[in-house]
Amino acid sequence: MCGRYTMFLKPEDLKKRFRATVSDEVVQKIAKPRYNLAPTQDVPIITNTSGERIAEMVRWGLIPSWAKDETIASKLINARAETLLEKPSFKNAFQKRRCLVIANGFYEWKSSAPGSKKTSRSAPKQPMYVRLKSQEPFAMAGLWEEWKHPETREIIKSCTIITTEPNDLIATLHHRMAVILSPHDEDMWLDDSLPTQDLLRLLKPFSSDALETYPVSSRINTVSADEAGMIERVEMASEARSDKAEQVSLFG
């Protein structure tokens, strides 16, 4: 799945890389680098409006147009590629409202005791940062919706990130991964004329060879924490415990 990610691309670089029109309002909102984007927060997406790529800020966590209230959003931060055409929450958006969710990287959590048959649910997990080896920004396949609040009549735009089976690298961390699109596939994903089966073929695991992952601070577990140091490499918690045990044995 994808539950936390980063987006620190400068507005001018976003315009250039994704060939998008970015309003002054969006420029102001993405001017501050984000190193810990979490569900229900506003995130930047790119939509195709009459053939033009438009950058918008929307809430992460899809609210279907038919929803009675917005609490459903927390359950719809991700959408499984395999069931997009079956789930009422995603079927219509898949056909008509696809988007690019812009990121520099994302986080997953690695078990502190990989391979253990008795790993406790409460056992601490090591946060891992995943990014392209090139360190270039990328787009995740997403869907977006508009929902009108039944009382205030406010229009809320929201999105979800599509996930698929993991590649070999991500499989060591989680059983799902976000669908990362190549630049060529980005064009296809936003193409309103593309047949359904062609769209579904885009929802595949990204190449392991193009990605890298490394351990980062557990501060990522705090939603309010959001600074550049969060993507700095740290020592694996399991390695630190092993080193400490060895030191006690040698010098105790």
Nearest-angstrom CA–CA distance, 10 and 81: 30
Structure tokens at 172: 């060591």
Q: Compute the distance between CA of residue 235 and CA of residue 216 in angstroms, rounded to an integer.
A: 8
Amino acid of residue 177: M
108 is catalytic: yes
Cβ(5)–Cβ(106) below 8 Å? yes
Q: Which of 127, 124, 100, 108 is nearest to 9 (CA)?
A: 100
Beta bridge partners of 59: 42, 158
* Tokens 């229009």 belong to residue: 155
Q: Which of 2, 56, 99, 145 is catalytic?
A: 2
Catalytic site residue from 56, 108, 145, 186: 108
Q: Residues 182-187: contacts with CB within 8 Å, 24+ apart? A: 186/18, 186/100, 186/139
Amino acid at 184: H
Least Cα distance to 167 among 121, 191, 132 occurs for 132
**What's phi and psi for 231, nearest 5 deg?**
-105, 10
Q: Which residues are catalytic?
A: 2, 108
